[in-house]
Chains A and B, each alone.
Chain A
Amino acid sequence: NAGVTQTPKFQVLKTGQSMTLQCAQDMNHEYMSWYRQDPGMGLRLIHYSVGAGITDQGEVPNGYNVSRSTTEDFPLRLLSAAPSQTSVYFCASSYSTGVGNTIYFGEGSWLTVV
């Protein structure tokens, strides 16, 4: 069972470079989201999508862009990488946004910006 798949797992970027973190899920989930985890900060929501063609900002959206052209894919784009974006990124999905719906996370993408 693939579940939520993120690529790449590790990436080093130079300041100012752009890149895309890929996320795909095979569970036909409507709701997808991106979180970042920083030491001592827990998980913070970057962007989310409630369905194909619909995206919205989370708690920390600045410097990131998303799109949702299909139900399966939800890529996260770093427009101009900054050292403050060094973090672990988790993509997540759930069947719906209803209360109590379990969110499934990918394994994470470790990004270092130098």
Chain B
Amino acid sequence: DQQVKQNSPSLSVQEGRISILNCDYTNSMFDYFLWYKKYPAEGPTFLISISSIKDKNEDGRFTVFLNKSAKHLSLHIVPSQPGDSAVYFCAASVYSGAGSYQLTFGKGTKLSVIP
């Protein structure tokens, strides 16, 4: 049972336009959400996060929106740049006992920004 879903395996966007990456989740106990970016042959790197008590978090060109009622979050990149071309993973955090939080990752969306 996939608890974090990224239904679009790939996305192509023109340079300068907005990129919108979507993520849906099923576990209402998730309380923190993160986006990771991964280039080929490298490990994932943290991009931006949002607590479940907020509905928006912004960091430069990157904004994450959270709709708790719909169990949906999205990552907006404006304007998109060729260097943003990567695989983006959505992740959700839940308390798993004994002071430990666990991350569940989606399958990732490959973003291609076309110059």
What residues make up the interface of A, taking CB atoms closer than 8 Å to B?
4, 31, 35, 40-45, 48, 50, 56, 58, 90, 92, 97-108
Contact = CB atoms under 8 A, between A and B. Distances in A.
21 contacts: A4-B43, A35-B105, A42-B4, A42-B105, A42-B106, A43-B44, A43-B105, A48-B100, A50-B100, A58-B102, A92-B43, A97-B99, A97-B101, A99-B101, A100-B51, A105-B36, A105-B43, A106-B43, A107-B43, A108-B41, A108-B43
A90 B103 CA distance: 14
A99 B103 CA distance: 10
B32 A100 contact: yes
Contacts of A35: 105
Interface string B27-51: 0000110101000011111100101
Contact of B31 (A4, A31, A99, A108): A99
A53 to B, nearest CB: 14
Given A103-B46, A104-B46, A40 B41 contact: no
B43 A98 contact: no
B89 A100 contact: no
Given A50-B100, A99-B93, A105-B44, 11 more contacts: A40-B9, A41-B107, A42-B4, A42-B108, A43-B89, A43-B91, A50-B98, A90-B44, A98-B101, A99-B32, A103-B103
Contact of B107 (A4, A42, A99, A105): A42
A27 B98 CA distance: 23
A33 B62 CA distance: 27
A35 B84 CA distance: 24
Nearest to A91: B43
B90 to A, nearest CB: 9
A107 B42 contact: yes
Given A100-B32, A107-B43, A40 B101 contact: no
B55 to A, nearest CB: 16
A90 B36 CA distance: 13
B103 to A, nearest CB: 7
Contacts of B107: 40-42
